[in-house]
Amino acid sequence: MPGDSVFTGRAIRRGSEPARTGYAPGMKPRTTLLVSGACLTVLVVAGCGNDDGTTVESAPATTERTDTTTLPNPASGMTGDAFGVPGTTETDAFTYDQTAVPVGSTVDVETEEDNGRTTVTLSVTGLAPNRDFGAHVHTRACGPQPADSGPHYQNDPDPAATPESPSTDPAYANPQNEVWLDITTDDNGDARASTTVDWEFRDDAAESVVIHAQHTMTGPGVAGTAGDRLACIDEDF
């Protein structure tokens, strides 16, 4: 599989182009480094806000999904240039929690569409070791605030959901209707997972991947929630 190749770094300063090697046609890989955003300074003084009250935060997991495919961890040393601080340099990603997602940790998102199906693969290096994370595709681009990325992308949108109250109905908030990528890091903080869904993304309707504080829950009223938003990566789906 293309994701098993050794990842190469991507210079992501403004105006640079990614170095892409070893990927099959249809792949859209992008390797970035997560760095602290302006929100981190604000967090110390006034609080940055996590999910703007729209999801269940840090609730005990009564039910967790188990169908993400865990792949061999990426090779250590996956590198790229650091993002700039918001307001001074154009940025693509943020870490909102430097303990869980340290400055300098890396992330790669690959997307492959084939005959109406989509495979998304997430690889990370240098996160907090030996801990669980959730990860989902979200509807809006990253920003300095965790809530800026909006709710989860749903292939079949929940008609009862609103911007203030995103879907937590298991009929819609599930790994067949959304993209969920739960991971557990190893001793080095590395992890890799992949999932395939039986649909393709609508144009301009999915713009980021958000890394959350715990594995994703599936029970009624909490389905799709995975705790605080720790980091966000812009992605062209």
For 41-56, the pLDDT digits (tens) are 333 323 334 444 433 3
For 125-174, the pLDDT digits (tens) are 889 999 999 999 999 998 888 899 999 999 999 999 998 899 999 999 99
* Burial status of residue 42 (CB atoms within 10 A of its CB: 0-12, 13-18, 19 or more): middle
Contact 23, 110 (CB under 8 A): yes
**What is the average per-residue pLDDT within 192-209?**
96
Contact 90, 32 (CB under 8 A): no
Q: In this structure, what CATH number is given to the domain that contains residue 192?
A: 2.60.40.200
Neighbours of 26 (CB within 10 A): 12
Contact 206, 154 (CB under 8 A): no
- What gap in Å lies between CA 190 and CA 106, rounded to an integer? 9
User: Structural domain tally of the chain?
Assistant: 1
- Domain holding 53, by residue range, is 1-237
Question: What stretches of the chain show up as alpha helix (H) in DSSP?
Answer: 38-45
